Amino acid sequence: MCGIAGQVRDDGAAVSPALLHAMCEALEHRGPDSRGVHLEGAVGLGIQRLRVIDLDTGDQPIYNEDRSIAVVLNGEIYNFRELREELRSRGHVFATKGDTEVIVHLYEERGPDCVRALNGMFAFALWDAREQRLLLARDRVGKKPLFYSARRGALSFASELRSLMSDPEISRELDHDALDCYYAYQYVPSPLSAFKAVAKLAPGHTLVWQAGRITTERYWQLDYSRKRTASKPELEEELREHIRAAVRRRMIADVPLGAFLSGGVDSSAVVAVMAQESAQPVQTFSIGFDRAAYNELAYARQVAELFATDHHELTVHPSAIDLLPRIVRHYGEPFADSSAIPSFYVSELARRHVTVALNGDGGDESFAGYNRYISNTVAGRLERGLPLWTRRLGARIGERLPGHPNAKSALSRAKRLSRSLALTGPERYARHMSYFDAWARADLYTPEYRALTAASPAAAIIAEPWHRASGSDLVDVLLEVDVNTYLPGDLLVKMDIATMAHSLEARSPLLDHELMEFAASVPAELKLRGMEKKILLRDAVRTWLPDEILDRPKMGFAVPLADWFRHELRGYATDVLLDPRTLDRGYFRPEAVRGLIERHVGGLEDCSPKLWALLVAELWHREFVDVAAAVPAAAPSA
């Protein structure tokens, strides 16, 4: 696990060594063990390495036999041993024992299509000196990030936005359409970034730069249209074997490894297999809160005791808000998933003991684990069964329902469902996934900011993958939309940044692409039926886990923000959000912001996700926009 950065030019200038080292320095937390650079006139590749596999000979960049190809890799290639044997049989000579070297030799064989043979999580940059070609690639699901900025004469790239913005040639003009998407979804979706001059390489894509021309290509996507006809017991056994294989692949390491354990279905299943495969007790790490409704530590302890793990836990208190400026700094652009807080804490806890931690990410998106899948399938049935005038009447009634201080209450859910009845499927899901939906953003923004963001693609973020979806069942459509939006844009960003901030490598067995392809082929009724979620996954792992773990209500990695904003953090939120410095940006109507605070503090409505999004955005502006404006960047000397 590492951080990569670099630049390629076609304007006659050489890449600045000082710039390359500055970009690497900004990534040192991702890879504190070594720095490597490849400088060759108009091209520069940099790598900060966290040594996990091949500790002695695996430092990067890695080259082919005649050094005409150089590669830097952020991530892990899990099938590297099989690929090494295949490539050796074809005459390739290996100088290292690690996984990175298979990429250069695969490229010699297959060119940019080499990426299709890789099983892993990765973002890599490869320079082909003979062809004067740069290849950038990102793994299928988007576990490893890659930002880039292309302009006349040069292309720069980096694992994190903060590193990329070390390049003084890159404009810092804000992309307010991207910020509008952030206020909607709490993250900036790919390929957008907070800055107009910067893009994210989308998951499952390659980018080829040659002679100043850029070509991007999607090389992988799930297909939900082809369904298995095997019996449920046969599918359960096949799923168990996929999980076993995915976990085994991710236990290959030359450093200590452990697992994040929440006590939920997904992380518990991963720990179960790790315990079966390990000769030593598995090290497990859990985070809890001092509010009982958010505390899963008892369940995590139960699983830890069942598998005799070496268990570690930590309770998070409201003082965690002190971590917020550091979180903002690491994420590099606005990111308002509040579970980044416990993710940071559990990563810090784990790093004291291990270098690699497995987790349960991905089970909900493959096997239908969210309550929103239930509510949207119910709404879909109502849409088909009720005339439009009836649904519009229900929506008007929903608008008049009172707010509730608990967003998960029956009243809050009924209000959201009824308000969405008059919408189309993608409109409904976009509203469901929005923290500030289109109406709320219109009310929040000043007239000037509404005009500035009038062309925002926020609605299309959900609508486009919805209309492209390969599945015919609504459940599969919802899953496919999430795999293309929420999963890579929110969950994987959260985990990558939180772990890498502590030089910890996170591995996600349930995001193995072969397991995900299997899940996409499972009939929808074996994922969600009525109020029952994750049917196949739960039943498949009943041979490993007790019913009280498998059948308990889902809690998620939620943070007690509502309580914090009504008590310990009330003054802090008010001070920042109503500060003239915040309001003078001209984005928000002061009375709208004040109304959110008053409704929340008064217990009329749970506005905590909205307040958190506004708070994070303002701190990001102060860290990345105001500071940059006050101190103009100077070009690094060569």
Q: Round to whole Å and give the CA distance between 467 and 396.
A: 27
Q: How many helices (H) and strands (E) does the chain have?
A: 30, 17
- Which two three-digit tokens encode residue 407? 């967003």
Measured CA to CA, the distance from residue 530 to residue 538 in angstroms comes to 15
- Contact between 283 and 310 under an 8 Å Cβ cutoff? The reply is yes
Torsion region of 209: left, alpha or beta (phi above 0 gives left; psi -120 to 50 gives alpha): beta
β-strands 205-210, 133-138: how paired? antiparallel
Instruction: Please name the residue that has the structure tokens 């959900």.
Output: 462
Dihedral Cα 148, 184, 344, 623, nearest 10 deg: 60
- How far is it, in rounded angstroms, from Cα 400 to Cα 415? 9
Return the DSSP state at 118.
-
User: What does DSSP say about strands 283-289 and 257-260: parallel, antiparallel, or unpaired?
Assistant: parallel
Cα 141 from Cα 504, distance rounded (Å): 20
- Which strands make up the sheet holding 257-260, listed edge to edge? 310-316, 283-289, 257-260, 356-358, 505-507
Give dist(CA 620, CA 610) in Å, integer: 15
CB atoms near residue 534 (< 10 Å): 24
- Residues 61 and 20: beta-carbon distance below 8 Å: no
The residues, ordered by sequence, that sit 6+ positions from 94 with a Cβ below 8 Å of its Cβ are 84, 87, 88, 101, 105
> In terms of DSSP bridges, do strands 154-158 and 2-9 run parallel, antiparallel, or are they unpaired?
antiparallel
Beta strands in 421-508 (DSSP E): 505-507
Kindly give the pairing relationship between strand 2-9 and strand 505-507: unpaired
Distance CA 397, CA 415 (A): 9
**CB atoms near residue 502 (< 10 Å):** 19
CA distances from 578 to 272, 338, 444 (A): 49, 21, 13
> What is the amino acid identity at position 15?
V
Listing from the earlier edge strand, what are the strands of the sheet with 133-138?
62-63, 69-77, 120-128, 133-138, 205-210, 213-218
Running DSSP on this structure, what letter comes out for residue 174?
Answer: B
- Which residue in the block uniquely carries the two structure tokens 């349960």? 360
Contacts of 186 (CB under 8 A, 6+ apart): 335, 336, 337, 435, 490, 609, 613
Q: Strands 199-200, 283-289: parallel, antiparallel or unpaired by DSSP?
A: unpaired
Q: Both tokens of residue 6?
A: 């670099």
Q: Count CB neighbours of 568 within 10 A.
A: 15
Relative orientation angle of helices 340-351 and 324-331, to the nearest 10 degrees: 90
Q: Cα separation of 269 and 542, whole Å?
A: 9
Tell me how crowded residue 130 is: count the other CB atoms within 10 A of its CB: 8
Pairing of strands 310-316, 283-289: parallel
Catalytic residues: 2
Q: Which residues pair with 496 in a beta bridge?
A: none
